[in-house]
Structure 1
């Protein structure tokens, strides 16, 4: 018998397959305090949560039996994925179950914003018949800017077209061909700002999208624009939005998600031109049933058949292969993250993976997926995992090729990752050295030897005397501590690179000052979301 604990409000109907299964015992404790959860979690084989329960590393220390954590929804930001992985716990989610609910809520918010429905209802219900204060605008022939063309953004755009709206769409992976097929126009963020009457956001919350809609961006928008966010709090800077609405530049906003939840920001809650709902995007009977059905079915599959479909973190390989490849899986994820940043954070159109040495004798399918996941995660965040990486590549129209070479490049194992967007190419080569760990050995055409760290400063410069000293002195002046520095060049006096490991990231101002150094051509901080846990603790 497998014991399953449900700690949040999950649809009873959706859990039916688990509740009726003879090999599972389901216990529901939706209001269990954290301290109580710590005391009892050790008795359970599986845990099902929504967004309320925080599955922390501390909680997982007590979860000795736990094999599966299921998030009845998409986002897994309330679950410590790395801690679960280290404990050997599979984390699953339900990535597509709430698409329609979020889509329809976005449209409801847009219509409410256009026609001031909540405000009119409130005043009418209070007994005041006021028609003159609530003159709205039509969606017909207006321009809608859709930022993020994943499943939800695409479905919103399709439905907005039925209102007769002109659609401008932005997504790093959106091609002209796909946009044309969908009957919309591929556009830059700036064009969306300048031309849109409505803007709706449908991106994950990443380093790039946090504060995407800020004071600078809002200043570029068309006067009278209306903005909708049913995606993730933090994509829109709330202070900047309130300021733009108070000035009259932005006509209004409809928000379902907030920087801090529950929201208590009086400037948002009391502004008559802002509509707010308490994170209801996925809150329909159908969506809640679907997410519960999906995770219930997968829990049964995992325990009964060892079959995994929507794992966020689970490497699928034999124990022997896992032991050999485990260091390369972490390195592969890091290589993917780094190479997309070296491509100036542009979406690739082509990816090439090359394996050398003993790696060609191993089943590298999972390693390939890990490299691809690292690339995609920069733009897609936790919506991409080892299971869906290949599907998402195909969906975004990105081609990839894997080549295995019998040569060893001077190392027992070596892998090289190259990405191209048709105009630029970025390349990283790396290996794992016995006793020394992961090493980045090549960046583009330059040979180096760098251990992956959370913050790397990549500098391209002319190979002239004094350059290293100038960079080191400038960073010291700004209280930036350097861990290591490596230099690579192809010829004396030509172009060269240096890669520095730093204790913390650099501000935009420091980068700007670095670029003023004579002979320094490029400076960029490369940041890794995944680093070796043991090294982090040191």
Structure 2
């Protein structure tokens, strides 16, 4: 018998298949205090949560039997996925079950915003008949800017067209062909700002999207624009939005998600031009039943057949395969994250993976998916995982190719990953060395030897005397400590690169000052989000002579 603990309010109808299964015992303990949860979590094989329960690394230390954590929804912000992965716990979600609910809530918020329905209801229900204060605007022939054309953004665009709206869509992976099929216009963020009457947000929260709608962006927008956010708090800078509304530039906003939840900021809660709801995007009877049904079915499959469909972290592997590939899985994810940043954070149209040495004899499907996930996760965040990476590539129109080469490139195992968009290409090569761990050995055409770290500073420069000293001195002046520095060049006096590991991040101001150094052509901070997901492992690799 497998014991399943449900700690948040989950639909009983949706859990029916799990509750009636002869091999599972389901116990419901919603709103359980964290200290009580820590005391009992060690008895359970699976845990089902929504957004209220915080599954922390501390809690997981007590979860001796836990094999599966199921999020009855999409986002896994309340789950320490890295800690779960380290313990070999599978984290699953229900990525498509709340699409319709979130789509319809977005449209409801947009209509409420256009017609001031909540404000009119509040005044009327208080006994005041006021027909003059709530003059709205029509959606017909207005322009809607959709930032993020994933599943929900696409469904919003389809429905908004039925109101006779003109749709501008932005997404790193939106192609002209797909936009044409949807009957919308592919647009830049700036075009959406200058042309849209309504702007709705449907992006994940990443380093690039955090504060995407800020003071600078709001200044570009059309006077009288209205914003809707039912995606993720933090994409809109709330303070900047309030300032723009108070100044009369932005007509209003409808927000379902916030930087801090529950929201308590009076500037948001008491502003007559801002509509707020308490993160209700997925809160429909149907959506809650669907997410519960999806995770229930998946839990049964995992325990009964070892089949995994919606894992957001690494699925289980055989012991032998895990021993061989585990160090490369982390490295592959890191390579993907680095190479997409080297492509100036553009969405690629083509990806190529090359395996060399002993890796060609292994089943590298999981490793391939990991590399692709690393590339896609920069723009798609936690909406991409090892299971859906190939599907998302196809959906976004990105081609990929895998080549296995008999030559060893000077190492027992070696892999290269390249991404391209048009004539622009970025390439990275890496391996795992016994006793040394992961090493990045090639960036574009330059040979280097760098251990992946959270903060990497990539510099392209002329190979002239004094360059290293100038960079080091400047970083020191800004209190930035350098861990290591590696230089790569193809010829003396020509172009070269420098890759430094740093103890902390860099501000845009420091980057700007660096690029002011004579002969320094480019400086870019490369950030990795998962430098500690896996231990290096016990895989023994030997560097062999280059041929």
TM range (shorter): over 0.9
Confirm or deny: 8 A CA contact 2:487 2:499 kept in the other structure. Answer: yes
Confirm or deny: 8 A CA contact 2:330 2:534 kept in the other structure. Answer: no
Partner-residue secondary structure (3-state), 1:209 = coil
- What's the counterpart of residue 3 of structure 1? 3
Query: Is 1:243 aligned with 2:243?
Result: yes
Q: Deviations over 1:360-391 (max 9, x none)?
A: 00000000000000000000000100000000
Q: Deviations over 1:135-182 (max 9, x none)?
A: 000000000000000000000000000000000000000000000110
Query: Is 1:82 aligned with 2:82?
Result: yes
Confirm or deny: 8 A CA contact 1:316 1:366 kept in the other structure. Answer: no
* Count of residues in Structure 1 that have an aligned counterpart in Structure 2: 536
Shift of 1:31: 1.4
Shift of 1:319: 1.3
- What's the counterpart of residue 434 of structure 1? 434
Query: Is 1:408 aligned with 2:401?
Result: no
- What's the counterpart of residue 190 of structure 1? 190
Instruction: Return the alpha-carbon distance in structure 1 between the equivalents of residues 426 and 499 of structure 2.
Output: 15
Partner-residue secondary structure (3-state), 1:132 = coil
Instruction: Return the alpha-carbon distance in structure 2 between the equivalents of residues 55 and 533 of structure 1.
Output: 16
- What's the counterpart of residue 224 of structure 1? 224
Instruction: Return the alpha-carbon distance in structure 1 between the equivalents of residues 439 and 139 of structure 2.
Output: 54
Instruction: Return the alpha-carbon distance in structure 2 between the equivalents of residues 501 and 160 of structure 1.
Output: 47
Instruction: Return the alpha-carbon distance in structure 2 between the equivalents of residues 446 and 528 of structure 1.
Output: 21
Q: Deviations over 1:473-493 (max 9, x none)?
A: 000000000000000001111
Structure 1 unaligned regions, length at least 5: none
Give the aligned CA root-mean-square deviation in angstroms: 0.9
- What's the counterpart of residue 479 of structure 2? 479
Shift of 1:442: 0.3
Instruction: Return the alpha-carbon distance in structure 1 between the equivalents of residues 31 and 77 of structure 2.
Output: 20
Shift of 1:534: 8.0
Q: Deviations over 1:395-443 (max 9, x none)?
A: 0000000000000000000000000011310000000111111000000
Q: Compared with structure 1, are the counterparts of its residues 378 and 534 closer, same or farther at alpha carbon in structure 2 (3 Å cutoff)?
A: closer
Confirm or deny: 8 A CA contact 2:205 2:235 kept in the other structure. Answer: yes
Instruction: Return the alpha-carbon distance in structure 2 between the equivalents of residues 351 and 31 of structure 1.
Output: 46
Q: Deviations over 1:281-333 (max 9, x none)?
A: 00000000000000000111111111111111133432111101111101000
Shift of 1:22: 1.1
- What's the counterpart of residue 162 of structure 2? 162
Q: Compared with structure 1, are the counterparts of its residues 230 and 184 closer, same or farther at alpha carbon in structure 2 (3 Å cutoff)?
A: same
Instruction: Return the alpha-carbon distance in structure 2 between the equivalents of residues 498 and 228 of structure 1.
Output: 43
Query: Is 1:19 aligned with 2:19?
Result: yes
What pairs with 1:124-203 in structure 2 (closer than 5 Å)?
Answer: 124-203=124-203
Range with greater deviation from structure 2 (15-24 or 105-114): 15-24
Shift of 1:345: 0.3
What pairs with 1:79-478 in structure 2 (closer than 5 Å)?
Answer: 79-478=79-478
Instruction: Return the alpha-carbon distance in structure 2 between the equivalents of residues 42 and 324 of structure 1.
Output: 30
Instruction: Return the alpha-carbon distance in structure 1 between the equivalents of residues 127 and 321 of structure 2.
Output: 72
Shift of 1:533: 5.2
Confirm or deny: 8 A CA contact 1:312 1:386 kept in the other structure. Answer: yes
Instruction: Return the alpha-carbon distance in structure 1 between the equivalents of residues 42 and 120 of structure 2.
Output: 52
TM-score (norm 1): 0.99
Q: Deviations over 1:251-284 (max 9, x none)?
A: 0000000011000000011100000000000000
Structure 2 unaligned regions, length at least 5: 537-547
Shift of 1:448: 0.4
TM-score (norm 2): 0.97
